[in-house]
Structure 1
Amino acid sequence: MSDSAQAQTASNVPEYSVTELSLRLKRSIEETFGWVRVRGEISGFKRAASGHLYFSLKDADSVLDGVCWKGSAARLGIRPEDGMEVICSGKLTSYPGRSKYQMVVERMELAGLGALMALLEQRRQKLAAEGLFAQERKKPLPYLPRVIGVVTSPTGAVIRDILHRLEDRFPTHVIVWPVLVQGEGAAEQVARAIRGFNTLAGDGPVPRPDLLIVARGGGSLEDLMAFNEEAVVRAAAESAIPLISAVGHETDTTLIDFASDRRAPTPTAAAEMAVPVRLDLIGDVGSLDDRLRRAMLRLAREKRHNLDALARGLRGPREQLEMARQRFDDLSERLKAGLKVGLQVQRGRLDTQIAKLRPTLLKREVADYRRRLAEADARLLRALRQRQADAAQRLAQPAKLLESLSYRNVLARGFAVVYGADGRALKQVTGLQPGDAISIEMQDGRRAARIDGDGDAPAPVKSPRRAAPAAVPRKPVKQGELF
């Protein structure tokens, strides 16, 4: 065909704008498929704030987008969820804004559990029977981990949310093990990362984490399938390091959530579970420190008060010794008087009994009683004297010790005690003024004296006097003051 013929043919084909072509396709689809029934498994279900429902219907090979408007959603007899196999009735239409076709659902019937959900339930029951989800296997989370290991994608918003939350609450050393979180090979990488963290040595170049966080953002059931794989679940259950699972949003549930030690509804919530708030800890420690200080001060005051009270009730050794001596003397006198009175009473009773007896028959017995009484009297007197001697010796030892510690022994060696006008002993010359009255105690007594001078000038040295002749009478010399 020549160029002129091709140009003539092209000019006969009608020309459409994109919008015109999209609208014609929309009318064509709606006229051809005005009412259809489609069976499939719900996936990616989402309820918008407007009340509309958005989801996908899928089978083994294909996926069909579906939407149920708010009015129709209120009339549905079931509550749609991911994994449910349903039969939807409605019409097909297209969405020109994205060049996609979709089904507008008017009715929905339950057709049974989807194949995917049935598979997950079967896997969950199998792993639960092995004890991987048992509560006694759960490990407590460390209160303040020094190192936190995070298994997630390094490019998503999840790791930024975790790091930002940790920085706000309690800055901590974080080690990220980058993995795929969906698609082929994601499950193997997540399981390898969990086991890799557990094989790190405590003293190696890479520190071993005290806590693990396995995190991923929200998504459809298919997007989260990597965390439902048996390899990931077994790795989480075998982890010796406490593990927090933070996969998906709050409504999403995966099998790793059952095997982990703690499940977080979101990655941000996992960071909040991992560490406390540093400012709160500082405030608590400061409050406890203040309480401890106040308690110690109160205890010290109470102990000092008790000590002062006990000190006031104590007596000096001299007073205690004097009281003991006085008590001993009193008891000695009372004992002597009591013994004499007792002997007289017993002797009187004995004489009375002897007078009643016939002398001829009981003379020998009376003599024997008298002898025994005299011996007992002698033994009693000897025991009394020995007891008095022992008591006197026991008292003599503290008296000697008290006498050896007395300050009068110091006076005997040439020292003296200076008393002020108020009768208290002076320890230093500070505060004494010329003319102040004092008293000086030496070995043989006490004499009054008065301060003369300021004490800075040395005392004059007197030259020895010659002895006066015996024939010349000498006037008595008055002794000067000591100071």
Structure 2
Amino acid sequence: MSPEYDPAGRLLAEETPGDNAPPLSVSELSGMLKRTVEDRFGHVKLRGEISGFKRAASGHLYLALKDDSAVIDGVMWKGGAGRLAFSPQDGVEVIATGKLTTYPGRSKYQIVIDRMELAGEGALMALLEKLKRQLGAEGLFDPARKVPLPFLPKVIGVVTSPTGAVIRDILHRLEDRCPTHVLVWPVLVQGESAAAQVAAAVRGFDAMRPGGPLPRPDLVIVARGGGSIEDLWAFNEEAVVRAVAECSLPIISAVGHETDTTLCDYAADVRAPTPTAAAEMAVPVRAELLAVLTESGLRAGRAVRRGAGQARERLETQVRLMPRPDTLLAPQRQRADDLGERLGRGLRHRLTDARRELSDAGGALRPILLQNRLAREWQRLQGARLRPQMLTRPLADGRQALDRLWRLAVSLDPDRPLSRGFARVMAGGKLISSVSDAKAAGRVMLHFQDGETPASIGGGVEKAPPPDISEHKQGTRNKPRAPDETRQQDLFT
């Protein structure tokens, strides 16, 4: 038996009598919810902690606001994100103003944020401490990065508002202490775009190079007057801190009053309590420098005069201790007089000796002695006679030597053996002295006493029979030869 019929469990949907609620589509229901939420919550303020913060490539911001027991998604479009006075981060408590709406694509509701502010000074300080720890961990506040200030900068760059009292105080203080060339880069020091302008100004000064249209500063001062932490917040922004830390020029941070401290102060090379104090740190007092120079000049003059006086005293003392010139030259004068007297006596003695030697030599030069020597030499000349043997004997010896040389030359004549029946074998202008050289040449030239004739090596010439020794002994050289014996035989086969 079939179960009892249940109208709610029907298979097909059918209209029932009295039903005035037609079915809605999902889009229709989502649209109704969207309009209801936006009408009811068109303007709300939410206080909560940022979580899951993300900045899209389009510039829109996506985040979630949460408290102890609930969470709601939020979105901030690019236009509102550009007007934020701080950089949102996870964990920061804020107050967001906007309207609630729904996102049908995910069946959830969210808040579209028009304006977002930090929830009180405590949240602002918490954000400041968090950013300080983050940048400090990167080493941006490390003392080793800081550079000393120049003693007397020629050009000073100032980043500040051109209309405030700060620039007037700096210029007035520099004029009083030491007039210096000042370049002012005008920026906003408070508001939405203040941080970007300050960072751009610092990087702009750092990018200037020597020899350009404007001189490159030797020192940069970042200055602003006093105010609340919200007013000074632009100098706590990460962009400003990084620009100051990365600048190669020495930087003095003079933001706020003496009790005000910003992250820019930590990143700068030197922190000044006030803008006026920054001007005092930047340059020395000109009058004091002149006084120091004057005092140094006076001290130098006194030192020179004192040194000259001491040198004069030492010189006078040395002069008193030195002997007189007469005392130094007395021995030499006496010696010169003594040598003068000895020289006269010596010359007279030498003259006497020379006269005595001349007299002795003159006595030996008598004419009779010369005549006797001339007679002896004449007798020797008369006794000398020219003998023919002295000339003929060397001539005979020379003739004999010449004959020996001629016989040797004749015996060494290479053509002389040709008269005895020998022949000289030549090939290519060279003498052939072996069978292997003759076979290698192939064709040779035979030189005889009466001429020369070519010959071929290995050409089939019959070998001549060995000569008959008995006939040779019997004098057969005069025997007439047979007709076939007149042909020249091959010498090497």
TM-score with structure 1 setting the length: 0.45
Q: Which has the larger radius of gyration?
A: 2
